[in-house]
Amino acid sequence: MLKIERLVSRFDPATGAISGASSVERHLSDLRGCFADTAAYDAALAAGNPLLYSVAAIEPAGGEGDLHYAVGILRPGRIGREYFMTKGHLHAWRLAAEFYFGLSGEGVMLLEDEATGESRMVPLRPQHAVYVPGRTAHRTMNTGGVPLTYIGVYPAKAGHDYGVMAARNFRCVVVERHGRPTLLERQAL
């Protein structure tokens, strides 16, 4: 077991980079359908296609009890009143939970129970750990003015299922209201 190559990996909390790991980049065009304000989305896309976030993952082993982690860096910005966000997903293995740890910057996570639709908005920032239970869709938003970096630790066999949330989106949206992130029902917009 101790022959695993990646017993130790180094990440940079400021840039979200992990040495020796490649990043997946998501631009605005990759988030079609995520923002409620489609006019604002189209206008922003017409003006350019900014990088919203990148994620680098360390996958030391892929067995039954193994763990992976990823470092994300989500840039600050808004589309209309919605903050820059991640696509959001369920885990392909629905029982897989995940721990998020805020490293720098200021954000929130939107959590949605797959079965009941119950939604919570919780803070993600330094010195905060967010527990994402199994069967819970999760999306991250940068609510501050500087990049938000964070770590997610999840079972190796969790897998990412983007299909369900891409098809119906989250039930709630997080918008800036009076300078603060506010959780609203999508239908109430």
Residues of this chain that interact with Mn ion (CB under 5 A) are 98
Q: How many CB atoms lie within 10 A of CB 96?
A: 19
For ligand PA5, the binding residues (CB under 6 A) are 26, 55, 70, 72, 86-89, 98, 140, 152, 154, 160
Instruction: State in angstroms the smallest separation of the CB of 91 from ligand PA5.
Output: 8
Specify the residue, 72 or 105, whose C-beta has the smaller distance to ligand PA5: 72
The whole-angstrom separation of Cα 185 and Cα 189 is 7
- Contact indicator for 152, 72 with CB cutoff of 8 Å: yes
Instruction: State in angstroms the smallest separation of the CB of 145 from Mn ion.
Output: 25
Specify the residue, 4 or 24, whose C-beta has the smaller distance to ligand PA5: 24
Q: Residue 117 forms beta bridges with which residues?
A: none
Instruction: State in angstroms the smallest separation of the CB of 142 from Mn ion.
Output: 17
Q: Choose the one of Mn ion, ligand PA5, none that binds residue 70, judging by a C-beta under 5 to 8 angstroms depending on kind.
A: ligand PA5
Q: How far does the chain reach from its first CA to its final CA, in angstroms?
A: 52
The whole-angstrom separation of Cα 76 and Cα 141 is 9
Specify the residue, 44 or 55, whose C-beta has the smaller distance to ligand PA5: 55
Q: Choose the one of Mn ion, ligand PA5, none that binds residue 55, judging by a C-beta under 5 to 8 angstroms depending on kind.
A: ligand PA5
Q: Looking up tokens 């300078």, which residue turns up?
A: 179
Phi, psi angles (nearest 5°) of residue 24: -95, 130
Q: Choose the one of Mn ion, ligand PA5, none that binds residue 86, judging by a C-beta under 5 to 8 angstroms depending on kind.
A: ligand PA5
Specify the residue, 101 or 154, whose C-beta has the smaller distance to ligand PA5: 154
Phi, psi angles (nearest 5°) of residue 140: -115, 140
